[in-house]
Amino acid sequence: MKPLLKTLTETFAPSGYEDAIRKIVQKEVKPFADEIRVDAMGSLIVHKKPTTKSKNPRRIMLAAHMDEIGVIVSHVDKNGFVRFTNVGGVFGRYTLGARIRFLNGTTGVVGFDKLESVNDIPSMSKMYIDVGATSRKNCPVQIGDFGAFERSYMEMGNRLVAKSLDDRAGVVVLIEALKAIKSTPNDLYFVFTTQEEVGTRGAGTAAYGIDPEIGIAIDVTGTGDTPASLKMSMELGKGPCVKVRDPGMLSDPRVVEWMVNTAEKAKIPYQREVLLVGSTDARAIQITRAGVMAGALSIPCRYIHSASEMVDYEDLKNSAKLLTAMLSKPVSF
């Protein structure tokens, strides 16, 4: 998975501009798909039909989002300094001094206006991007141009660090599960969604079109294993997390039980997740049409929405194993 994850995380695809990442994913999944299509929102929908008979085949939607947080140019001053606003959850504490790459290839460094104290964290309105320009005329970006963090993938033992592991980690897990499933009694839709970071938009429209009976999001989740972190039980290296609750949704108890029972039977380590901040595509899937039984498989991740997010490689492997075990057998509820 590591070479693919490196390629995915180093590809730039902020919300609304997922074309580059979609092409990579489509090439990876094509040999394993019965049908592939791209919907009006740009989500990639990969259909794997049942290969074995079942009394009650279930239509199941799996969703991992392709987009990443980013910035958009809102103003260029007379000296060529670029003001910007966020696309998704860009946090000021992670943005100062960051390097930004725009879709046209321009790179820049985030600077900030004069601070009263060097320890202050200024608001985004006090930040700018220095792209090396000297005037508005020779500035290589213009109003409305999109950019994202610039940072290379690296490995620290079993810990993998990169930008956009939210949610390229989920994307690689979903791809690996699709490759690993040799036969299934279920009607499976592997959906690589768009615009999750700006309101789970792609998942909602994809779910409306698919009309699944069960929906599962594969995304990252925050951890409680760093100094003075929020008091949450999720930790790196302890296995995939079975979501019970986040601020956007309550998982269906039947889906939670299915995931837990499968993990225990397959002897796959897992954690129970109660997330205190954030949500996933499962929120949009759950309230589509007349409602969907929904849950989420979450990958523990530190420093979410920074340019140096961190996951554990064993958690990625075990996440793919759990999904494969779940989807290869009939659903009992």
Q: What is the pLDDT of residues 98-122, one digit of tens each?
A: 999 999 999 999 999 877 777 777 7
Range 17-38 average pLDDT: 97
* Average pLDDT of every residue of the chain: 95
Q: Flag whether pLDDT at 232 surpasses 90.
A: no
- Taking only the tens place, the pLDDT of each residue in 237-258 is 999 999 999 999 999 999 999 9
pLDDT at 229: 83
What does pTM read for this prediction? Answer: 0.94
Q: Does the pLDDT value for residue 55 go beyond 90?
A: no
What is the SS3 string spanning the chain? Answer: CHHHHHHHHCCCCECCCCHHHHHHHHHHHHHHCCEEEECCCCCEEEEECCCCCCCCCCEEEEEEECCECEEEEEEECCCCCEEEEEECCCCHHHHCCCEEEECCCCEEEEEECCCCCCCCCCCHHHEEEECCCCCCCCCCCCCCCEEEECCCCEEECCEEEECCHHHHHHHHHHHHHHHHCCCCCCEEEEEEECCHHHCCHHHHHHHHHHCCCEEEEEEEECCCCCCCCCCCCCCCCCCCEEEEEECCEECCHHHHHHHHHHHHHCCCCCEEEECCCCCCHHHHHHCCCCCCEEEEEEEECECCCCCCEEEEHHHHHHHHHHHHHHHCCCCCC
- pLDDT of amino acid 228: 84
Annotated catalytic residue within 18, 68, 196, 273:
196
Q: Domains of the chain by range and CATH?
A: 2-68+163-327 (3.40.630.10), 70-149 (2.40.30.40)
172-231 confidence digits (pLDDT tens): 999 999 999 999 999 999 999 999 999 999 999 999 999 999 999 999 999 988 998 888
Is pLDDT at 46 greater than 90 in this prediction?
yes
The answer to whether 155 is a known catalytic residue is: no
